[in-house]
Amino acid sequence: MVKVRFAPSPTGFLHLGSARTALLNWLYARHTGGEFYLRVEDTDRVRSDKKFLDEILTDLKWMGLDWDGELVYQSGRFDEYRKAAEKVLGSGKAYREGDAIIFKVEKSREIVVEDIIHGKITFNTDQIKDQVMIKSDGSPAYNFCCVVDDAAQGITHILRGDDHLSNTPKQILFYEALESTLPEFAHIPLMMGSDGAKLSKRHGAVSVEEYKKKGILPAALANYLILLGWSPGEDREIISLSEAVELFDISDMGDVQSRFDDRKLEWLNAEYIKNKSTRELIPLLKEKLKEHGYSSNVLDKDKFEHLTKAYQVRFKTLNGFVEGTDCFFTDDYIKEDKGYRKYLSSEEGKEILREYARKLEGLSEFSVEAIEDACRRLADEKAIKAARIIHPTRVAISGKTGGASLFEMMYIMGQKKVLERMKKAAR
Ligand code: GLU
């Protein structure tokens, strides 16, 4: 049975690259009916923090991943590492240096890594110095405890980032010394930033947490990460986790680095938002509004649903929705200067607003149709195009030049607020 693991160090938030590694391991386990474990690499007691671990676990669950068995904490296994190191010491392949235990690397040997993604990669031990197993402070060195754990957990496939490739020959030496079965290795080409350099803070948001905050949906992020370096074929770009479980195979992964492209992710996210039912989308929008300090209760259930439908196709992220619809939830909405300059700086624009407001005031029923009809009537009377009324009105009530259909916006906002804002803008 395939057994894979994701081994985060809880020294920071979940980086997109790590999230991708976790996802690919999970997909491979679920595709093969195998098991996916989590191992917490918290040997660095100073930098490891429970708050990071909690966030990592929350983010993995948020993306739709689950794991098998209990978490393994390296901090709780120091005795095992010492025992294993002493076994190697006993076999004469290591020596002590003070309190440290060091593995003696045999010179001039070739070590071949048969990598599933990259093929055969050969290393020479002349390039590898003797390897610390246990440091003088009693803590294990990364390459050693990683092997002790992978062997103890019976890990069959190690899928991890390319940046670990140089660790692999050292780890292979430890497998030999511990007389453990070698797993298969697949080193995943790293994810680069848009400029081709390793994806880092410099490129902007790099943690799952930040994308969650921006209002990227978990399914869209997972979908995007899956597509980097792997394709379901037929130019398909939208794929759910469950479909990817069916189709994904690690051996189909390309050995080229991929570039992380924010715009592509946002495009995918927009597709996911568009395809959600209002029933699914509404709770997410309400949650986001709350995060931004707005109360969704200013609109009743029907109007909130109407708003969702009217804007669902217009936004790439949940935050985009909140920014674009702020005028429905606060009087302190974002006001675009250019709209005011273009449509409301002249007396003519203001006069149109006053006249339209007068017509709207007279409406007994403030329905989309009645609002639109009032606009058409005014346009006829003045022999002007409806657009000459629509543009200044939209800016007056929303501060924006874009948005949903004006008449729907006005209906959702309600007669009182609409008139208030139109009159204010006309002054
Ligand atoms: N803790 C290591 C990391 O976060 C794990 C490396 C591995 O998968 O072997 O990069």
Residues with Cβ within 8 Å of 236's Cβ and at least 6 positions away in sequence, in order, are none
Band (pLDDT 50/70/90 cuts) for residue 235 is confident
According to DSSP, the residues that pair with 124 across neighbouring strands are 110
392 burial via Cβ count (<10 Å: 0-12, 13-18, 19+): buried
% residues pLDDT > 90 (the chain):
90
Which of residues 137, 164, 188 is at a domain's end? 188
Tens-digit pLDDT profile for residues 8-36:
999 999 999 999 999 999 999 999 999 99
Residue 44 lies in a domain: yes
Closest CA to 265 of 191, 346, 332: 191
Residue 409 lies in a domain: yes
Backbone angles phi, psi at 6, to 5 degrees: -120, 130
Query: Can you tell me which atom of ligand 1 is nearest the CA of 146?
Result: 9
pTM: 0.92
Q: How far is the CA of 282 from the centre of ligand 1 (A)?
A: 38
Residue 53 lies in a domain: yes
Average pLDDT over residues 399-408: 95
Query: Can you tell me which atom of ligand 1 is nearest the CA of 150?
Result: 9
CATH number at residue 69: 3.40.50.620
Q: Is the CB of 7 under 6 A from ligand 1?
A: yes
Band (pLDDT 50/70/90 cuts) for residue 256 is confident
How much of the chain is in helix, strand and coil states, percent to nearest 5? 55, 15, 35
Please give the pLDDT value at position 39.
98
Residue 359 lies in a domain: yes
Give the per-residue SS3 of 303-356: HHHHHHHHHCCCCCCHHHHHHHCHHHCCCCCCCCHHHHHHHHCCHHHHHHHHHH
Write out the residue range of the structural domain in which residue 53 sits: 3-188
Residue 271 lies in a domain: no
Report the alpha-carbon distance of residue 201 to residue 398 in Å, rounded.
35
Cβ count near 175 (within 10 Å) = 16
Name residue 288's amino acid. K
- The total number of structural domains in the chain stands at 2
Tens-digit pLDDT profile for residues 205-227:
789 999 999 999 999 999 999 99
Closest CA to 37 of 1, 79, 11, 78: 1
Helix (H) or strand (E) holding 86: helix 78-90
Which of residues 188, 208, 228 is at a domain's end? 188
Average pLDDT over residues 187-209: 86
Is the pLDDT assigned to residue 308 strictly greater than 90? yes
Residue 38 lies in a domain: yes
Report the alpha-carbon distance of residue 103 to residue 280 in Å, rounded.
56
Residue 248 lies in a domain: no
Q: Is the CB of 164 under 6 A from ligand 1?
A: yes
Tens-digit pLDDT profile for residues 335-393:
999 999 999 999 999 999 999 999 999 999 999 999 999 999 999 999 999 999 999 99
Contact 51, 85 (CB under 8 A): no
Which of residues 188, 212, 239 is at a domain's end? 188
Please give the pLDDT value at position 254.
85
Q: Is the CB of 42 under 6 A from ligand 1?
A: no
Residue 318 lies in a domain: no
Report the alpha-carbon distance of residue 295 to residue 306 in Å, rounded.
16
Contact 27, 253 (CB under 8 A): no
Average pLDDT over residues 94-108: 97
Is the pLDDT assigned to residue 194 strictly greater than 90? no
Q: Is the CB of 146 under 6 A from ligand 1?
A: yes
Report the alpha-carbon distance of residue 43 to residue 408 in Å, rounded.
58
